Amino acid sequence: MLNRTKVDLAGSLFIFVLLMIFWFLISASADWQHILVGAIFCGLLTVLWGNLTITEGHKTEFKLAQLFMIIKYFVILGVEIVIANINVAMIVLNPRLPISPGIVIMRCDLERSLVRVLYVNSITLTPGTITVELEDNLLIVHALTEDVAHGLEDWPLYRRLMKLEGVYKND
Amino acid sequence: MSVILDLLALICLLGGLFFLFVGTLGLLRLPDVYNRLHATTKCDTLGVGLVLLSLILQSSLAVGVRLALLIIFILATNPTAAHVIARAAFKSGIRPLTGRRNDRD
Amino acid sequence: MISSILNWVVIGVIVISLMAIARAYKGPTVLDRVVAMNIITTNVVIIILIFSYLDNSYYYIDVAFVFVLGVFIGTLCILKLLREGHII
């Protein structure tokens, strides 16, 4: 807040509206006291810590195509999570415990920090892999079995995320 | 209709309990910090999700929205905590086991 | 109908937490204990929400929110303390 150079008005307003929606969902009432307290706190959060959420000088913008992409992504992610759990359950319940763990180092060309967070968390939730470290564009992944480590090369969700970032680059 | 909802909630509840059990069994059986994280992160997240889904199916709309928000919250924080633990283990020099385990014993 | 078996579900979740406590007792490193603590807190969230359903008192859900947030921050603090020796 102290050394902020320029104020991103549209981004601040977007975050304020988002926080107000969250407040209404949590408080679930429409008294004027609730609305007043919520507006005061959301305004304080936006003014004091807004520069933490609006990062890297990117403009906060919202596109319809992007929304559909994200919804489709989360549907596929849900299916992958269920497959991952059945996979892990088969390994753990097998009395011989057939694991062959190892470390894989990969490239990651995503740039926006939100998309990177989404990518890393998806890797952690999908079959047999957890992210250990993400440096600039090197990704260290721990894999539970050998097959998973080989299957990580052309992962369909990664291509979707690249496409999601491509929406911004076309401008 | 109500019977179908009840049955669906029951299936979700038992499935969630099963996955929680499997995750904790993995925590007891697997040999390494990294491998234990594999079992706990995935199974815990899905287990909590299924148990909360069965509660959503049985409660009113205002409560269901809050429970759905809680699911999203857990879905965001759980993998992040796992990533931080794995990173701390890696930086503090705990070497992961590698290779095929069954050949050795 | 589901509320008749929720008591047994609570007992099952407590048994699962006892299994995690066994790992926290045995665990060779601190990180194993942190993982076990994560599982136990997840189970506590489930128990809070089941009691909120059985009591029909929805304020417990806010308690669960704050609990999840506090546990997340607590995990980060423990790991930062382990790595750097101080938190602030």
| pLDDT the model gives residue B103 | 45
Q: Within a domain: residue B104? A: no
Name the average pLDDT for chain B.
84
Cα B11 to chain centroid distance, Å, stands at 17
For each of chain C's 88 residues, which pLDDT tens digit applies? 677 888 888 999 999 999 889 988 887 888 888 889 889 999 999 999 999 988 888 788 888 889 999 999 998 888 888 877 777 6
Contacts 24+ apart (CB under 8 A), C43-46: C43/B20, C43/C13, C43/C14, C43/C16, C43/C17, C44/C17, C45/B48, C45/B70, C45/B74, C46/B20, C46/B48, C46/B51, C46/C13
What digits encode the pLDDT tens for the residues A3-17?
A: 444 556 777 787 888
Q: Three-state SS for B72?
A: helix
- Residue in B39, B97, B101 nearest the CB of A88: B39
A57-61, A64-68, A156-160: lowest mean pLDDT where?
A57-61
Query: pLDDT for A94-153, tens place per residue?
Result: 887 777 777 888 877 777 777 788 888 888 887 777 888 877 778 888 887 777 777 776
Interface test with chain B among A124, A131, A139, by most B beta carbons within 10 Å: A124
Residue B53 included in any domain:
yes
Asked whether the beta carbons of B28 and C32 are under 8 A apart, the reply is: no
- What's chain A's average pLDDT? 76
CB-based contacts of C58, cutoff 8 Å, min separation 6: B62, B63, B66, C52
**pLDDT given for residue A2 in this prediction:** 45
This model of the complex carries an ipTM of 0.84
Res B105: pLDDT: 40
Tokens describing residue A100: 């062959």
Range of the domain at B46: 2-91
Q: What is the pLDDT of residues B32-79, one digit of tens each?
A: 888 888 888 888 888 999 999 998 988 888 888 888 888 988 888 888
Position B72 in a domain: yes
> What's the pLDDT at A171?
46
- Please give the share of chain B, as a percent, with pLDDT higher than 90: 6
Instruction: Write out the H or E segment, with its range, that includes residue A143.
Output: strand A138-143
Residue B102 lies in a domain: no
The number of C-beta contacts closer than 8 angstroms across A and B is 104
Looking at residue A48, its pLDDT comes to: 81
**Contact at CB, B10 and C53, closer than 8 angstroms:** no
**Domain ranges within chain A, ordered by starting residue:** 9-53, 64-169
* pLDDT value at residue A8: 65
Nearest CB to C61; choose among B25, B70, B94: B70
Q: Does B8 touch chain C (CB under 8 A)?
A: no
pLDDT at C44: 92
Is A149 near chain B, with CB under 8 Å? Answer: no
Number of domains comprising chain B = 1
Q: Where are the alpha helices (H) located in C30-58, listed in sequence order?
A: 30-55
What CA–CA distance (Å, rounded) separates B49 from A85?
12
